[in-house]
Amino acid sequence: MSWGEAFRLALILIADPSSQVGSATGGLAQPVSREYVALQILVDNAVQQAAKRRAQLRTLPDPFKRTKRHGGRHMGVSPDDFEKVLAAHRRAP
């Protein structure tokens, strides 16, 4: 497996709240499925509407929305800068 493929797979794993890695990086107490998150938002919205105070409704994220891709040549770090950081890392104890 190449470093690029490993990096892309790690980004997918981090974005998944049902994985241990995704829940830990997202600050969650435990891994939760996307269905659980959707149901929680729906229940919260129903409670907010039934409350006496003004409702603060949340919306579900659009699963078909295209997001900006991370990785590859468009990371914002030049190859020279990356090589400098990598060389400094190799020298570190």
pLDDT mean across residues, the chain? 79
pLDDT on residue 81: 82
User: Which is more confidently placed, 92 or 6?
Assistant: 6
**21 vs 28: CA distance, rounded Å:** 10
pLDDT on residue 75: 59
In the structure, what pLDDT confidence band is assigned to residue 76 with cuts at 50, 70 and 90?
low
The torsion angles phi and psi of 78, rounded to 5 degrees, stand at: -75, 155
Domain spans of the chain?
A: 3-91
- SS3 of residue 32 by DSSP: coil
Per-residue pLDDT tens digits for 24-34:
888 888 888 88
Per-residue pLDDT tens digits for 35-61:
888 888 888 888 888 877 777 777 776
Angle (CA) 82 84 86, round 5°: 70
